[in-house]
Amino acid sequence: MANTEASFVRTEMVAPQEPPLSERGVVKWVRENLFSGPLNTILTVLALVSLFYLVKLSLPWWLHGVWKANSLGECRQIIADAYGPDATGACWAMIRERWHQFIFGFYPPEMYWRPILSFGLLFVALAPALFFGDRRNNLVILAGVALFLLLSLWALDNDLLHIALIMMMMAGFVALVLIAPRKLLWFTLIYPALAQFLLWGGSVWGPVLTMLGLAVLAVVYVVLQPRFGVVMASAMGFVAACVWWLALQSSVSTALYTLMPIGLEALDSDQFGGFLLAFVIGVSSISAALPIGILLALGRRSDMLLIKTLSVTIIEFVRGVPLITMLFTASLLLQYFLPPRTNFDLILRVVILVTVFSAAYIAEVIRGGLAALPRGQFEAADALGLDYWQAQRLITMPQALKISIPGIVTTFIGLFKDTTLVTFVGLAEPLRGITSIVRADIDWKGIYWEPYIFVGAIFFLCCFSISRYSMYLEHKLKTDHR
Amino acid sequence: MAYVADAPKASFRPSMLIYDTRYRSITIQVIVLLLAVLFVGWLADNTIQNLAAKDKDINFSFLWNRAGYDLDQQLIPYTNDSTHGRAAMVGLLNTLAVAFLGCIFSTILGVFIGVLRLSKNWLVSRLMTVYIEMFRNVPLLLWIIMVFVIFSEIAPAPKDFKVTDEMIAAGELPKASMMFMDSVAVTNRGTNIPMPLVEHPLGYVNLGFATANLTVVALFALIGASIYANRRVARHARAVQEATGDRPTIWWKSLLILFAPSIFFLWALGFHLEYPELKGFNFKGGLNVAHSFTALLLALVLYYGAVIAETVRSGIIAISNGQSEAAFALGLRPGRTMRLVILPQALRVIIPPLISQFLSLTKDTSLGIGVSYLDLRGTLGGITLNQTGRELECMLLMMLIYLLISLLISFVMNIYNHSVKLKER
């Protein structure tokens, strides 16, 4: 074979050539992605034309934005002076002057550190749940929170002593995470009382003793559980805790407060507003709704006819009516359903009803998670001789919750967006409450794009980042090998 | 298995109510029932006490009293002399109108955008992603209020449409002009659109609880009959195709059957459009659609369009690539592949979430409160409630009606879901 030398057979390899111009680089990309066929070409041209018009219409408005003015009229004057009488421009000066109302409502400015601190600590409390004891991620979260607290407290002119104290607390958390990341869960447990104390102020003993009620529940449960089983023990614990909360707590708390008057200045719920209110309602409702939702989901899958019927009725009723009717129930009807002369805070009433509302949705999400588990899991738990609650706690729920986390997060996003509806029962949420207050001001009358864009942008940031986090979580928790 | 029969038939002891799984479930159910009854009784007792303290009773007779307020959008005849019940009915129809139109338009928009987001065109798919994320992640209420504010603040006043002789002489154009060949005028007071009218209406018939417009009824009956006849023709064509292998050409028959009767019917009755015209300071004639309706509908469609687009996209993605490759291998064109292979399978994934989105859309029509749209909540749960002071009755009735609507929608859609579901075993 070696000596057959035909003149038409090449003996050396041809040097590789670059692909033709239309098959490489930008040209190829544009051809393939933008102009690959007549339909695509039309679509691209249409998209470009509409983009062009959008930019042409709105770009001057964005570019001519004014940040320093005292009223809308002044804004318009500045824009007219600078860019001619027909020029349009954004008047961001309104945001500059009123941003604190959009964020904090009517919270006293010198106490802004309280909501900020509770917001920061919220992430510390969430960290163990968000990242499952992953030390590195927890540290990243803690560092982020510390940086956020430092910057925002410094920007709000808090004195150095307070900042230093808060930073020492953060350092304590970092140390805790480094030594025993799982122990951070205890902070998660006490966070609700802490946040309530920070936000509303008042005597420190109220929240402390409320947490003590939970401790009573835990002690009774631990003592009685071996004898009476989970349901009876937790019921008795609940009764004991109720006795503590309703009968004893207030007198003990008053006595302690006269002995040791520790506390922060008490604030009224009227002073809450803006995104602070949205976060308070959203976070407290969703965290209270989670256990109720789990119980409802279990009830809906129960073999016991009565419990199943009850759960289905509650879930379907709540899911069948709009949230707004639930809110009106909170503001108009709850006074009929509760004992005469009970009157409590509107925010609390709204939180209760929103909790019921989201519990039904969460129940459906968790039911989906339970339904996705293979039957073998339930049977294996039975075969191991676990009782119902052990099986739920050790086998079923960890898997079902894992599957339903994206759904729970979606529910939370929906709920967070729906907190805007509390405006209709008279709470000053950012979108309509605060915006209408601002627009009623003589200085800012007639302003409409800017407040809505500002509020919308903050909502977008929150919801978008939460949904991205949920996607990350879904990816991370996917342990099956499909 | 003998030992099963040997299980001790011990006599019943009270402790078995707690320790024996056979009896424990009964114990738990009895306790729960007792607690539930106690709770409901407690609520009822409180309610009775509270009502007594306020000198009120539970009484629905106010529904037959004179309402005394006007509604700006009414699909059935209503004046301020009508009853509260009638007002609630008008409100319910307004709710249903927005919900119905919203479901249809948002589905169309959603499918369109969902498919475009999957397009191979980089620019278009990015634009659609931006659209979807922008609308999904911002509260619906913001879109409703924003659309409303834009309509009522930016739209020109009716006087801006005026063309005077001096302006013609000077060659000036009016500040604003009507759209779509002088048929639609968007002003700051509302949107004026042409109104379909017939010269020789068939009249009304009183059914006792409602009056039926015979013209509309006849038209719908005719359209239904046309659709039925068309299906007969298509079925016949299919039978012929299966028997002989040749499909008869039927598209012109279909067109004729579908459209000719209705067009002839409308022509015979003298169908025409009444265009809005500027008379004096406002538009007269035609149909004036309030901005509250437009804003609510538009915002719902844009928002739920984005939500449905995501559903559609995930449904299409869920169909494995092998399906479309197999269809291409069989020689089907892309359009037919989509229609015959992908969509029927994707529908199964899409429909269950779509049902819940329709339900949410229907419930979210109650956000019309943000722009004072007089729907069920605006009439029964708003003005009527405030006028009569009967919070309990109004709220309960309103919740019940919303609940019924929701159950009805999920019932109907579940039937449809059942019909497209994969039939296995």
pLDDT by residue (tens digit) across A331-342? 888 888 888 777
pLDDT (mean) for A438-452 = 84
pLDDT (mean) for A201-214 = 82
Q: Are both B399 and B330 inside the same structural domain?
A: yes
Distances (CA, A) of A267 to A114, A153, A427, B119: 11, 20, 15, 54
Q: Which of A173, A220, A217 is nearest to A194 (CA)?
A: A173
- Give B145's contacts in chain A (Cβ within 8 Å): 431-432, 452
Q: Are both B215 and B264 inside the same structural domain?
A: yes
pLDDT of amino acid B65: 83
Residue A445 to residue A74: CA distance in whole angstroms: 12
* Residue B348 pLDDT > 80: yes
User: In this predicted structure, which of A192-201, A236-245, B17-26 has the lowest mean pLDDT?
Assistant: B17-26
The two structure tokens encoding residue B70: 């006007």
User: Is B183 a member of any domain?
Assistant: no
pLDDT (mean) for A296-310 = 89
- Give B363's contacts in chain A (Cβ within 8 Å): 321-323
Contact B215, B269 (CB under 8 A): yes
Residue type, B188: N
Q: Which of A76, A93, A126 is nearest to A286 (CA)?
A: A126
Query: Given pLDDT bands bounded at 50, 70 and 90, which one contains residue B10?
Result: low
Distances (CA, A) of B311 to A467, B105, B127, B306, B363: 15, 15, 17, 9, 19
pLDDT of amino acid B138: 92
Q: Does the beta carbon of B146 lie under 8 angstroms from any beta carbon of chain A? A: yes
pLDDT of amino acid B404: 92
Query: Given pLDDT bands bounded at 50, 70 and 90, which one contains residue A238?
Result: confident
The two structure tokens encoding residue A345: 């805070």
| Count of Cβ atoms closer than 10 Å to residue A401 Cβ | 17
Q: Are both B340 and B423 inside the same structural domain?
A: yes
Q: Are both B327 and B383 inside the same structural domain?
A: yes
* Residue B61 pLDDT > 90: no
* Residue A350 pLDDT > 60: yes
Distance from CA of B264 to the nearest CA of A (A): 37
pLDDT in tens, B349-372: 888 888 889 989 999 999 988 888
Please state the domain count of chain B: 3
Query: Given pLDDT bands bounded at 50, 70 and 90, which one contains residue A406?
Result: confident
pLDDT of amino acid B171: 72
Domain ranges of chain A: 62-91, 97-107+270-482, 111-186, 202-264
Final residue of a domain: which of B242, B274, B306?
A: B274
Tokens 């960290």, located at residue: A127
User: In this predicted structure, which of A126-135, A307-316, B239-248, B320-329 has the lowest mean pLDDT?
Assistant: A126-135
The two structure tokens encoding residue B111: 């499918």
* Residues B387/B390/B395/B397 CA torsion (nearest 10 deg): -100
Residue A251 to residue A236: CA distance in whole angstroms: 23
Q: Are both B223 and B322 inside the same structural domain?
A: no
pLDDT of amino acid B9: 60
Right CATH for A97-107+270-482 from 1.10.8.290, 1.20.1260.10, 1.20.120.160, 1.10.3720.10: 1.10.3720.10
Query: Given pLDDT bands bounded at 50, 70 and 90, which one contains residue B271?
Result: confident
* Residue B75 pLDDT > 80: no
Distance from CA of A275 to the nearest CA of B (A): 13
Tokens 């706690």, located at residue: A393
3-class state of residue B196 by DSSP: strand
Q: Does the beta carbon of B34 lie under 8 angstroms from any beta carbon of chain A? A: no
pLDDT in tens, B41-58: 998 898 888 888 888 888
* Residue A482 pLDDT > 50: no
User: Is B189 a member of any domain?
Assistant: no
User: Is B325 a member of any domain?
Assistant: yes
List Cβ neighbours of B339 (8 Å cut-off, separation of 6 or more). Answer: none
pLDDT of amino acid B100: 92
* Residue B89 pLDDT > 90: no
Residue B254 to residue B231: CA distance in whole angstroms: 9
Distance from CA of A366 to the nearest CA of B (A): 16
pLDDT of amino acid B7: 55
User: Is B334 a member of any domain?
Assistant: yes
Beta carbons of A340 and B46 less than 8 Å apart? yes
- Give A460's contacts in chain B (Cβ within 8 Å): 133-134, 137-138
Contact A158, A92 (CB under 8 A): no
Query: Given pLDDT bands bounded at 50, 70 and 90, which one contains residue A368?
Result: confident
pLDDT (mean) for B96-113 = 92
Greater confidence, A259 or A385?
A385
Greater confidence, B3 or A268?
A268
N-to-C CA span, chain A: 52
pLDDT (mean) for B234-246 = 87
Greater confidence, A151 or B106?
B106
Q: Which residue of A has its CA nearest to B120?
A: A33
Q: Does the beta carbon of A339 lie under 8 angstroms from any beta carbon of chain B? A: yes
Q: Are both B373 and B415 inside the same structural domain?
A: yes
Greater confidence, B315 or B164?
B315
Range of the domain at B50: 15-57
Beta strands in A87-239 (DSSP E): 202-203
Give the full edge-to-edge strand order of the sheet including B185-187. Answer: B185-187, B190-193, B287-289
pLDDT (mean) for A142-158 = 84
pLDDT of amino acid B304: 94
Phi, psi of A19 (to 5 degrees): -60, 160
Beta carbons of A44 and B133 less than 8 Å apart? no
CA-based angle B146:B152:B155, to the nearest 5?
110
pLDDT of amino acid A363: 92
pLDDT of amino acid A268: 83
Q: Which residue of A has its CA nearest to B23?
A: A304
CATH code, B111: 1.10.3720.10
User: In this predicted structure, which of A470-479, B6-15, B405-414 has the lowest mean pLDDT?
Assistant: B6-15
Beta strands in A221-305 (DSSP E): 263-264
Greater confidence, B201 or A270?
A270
Q: Does the beta carbon of B320 lie under 8 angstroms from any beta carbon of chain A? A: no
pLDDT (mean) for A258-273 = 81
Q: Give percent of chain A above pLDDT 90.
A: 13
User: Is B103 a member of any domain?
Assistant: yes
Q: Are both B239 and B300 inside the same structural domain?
A: no
Greater confidence, B97 or B193?
B97
* Residue A358 pLDDT > 50: yes
* Residue B298 pLDDT > 90: yes
pLDDT (mean) for A410-430 = 88
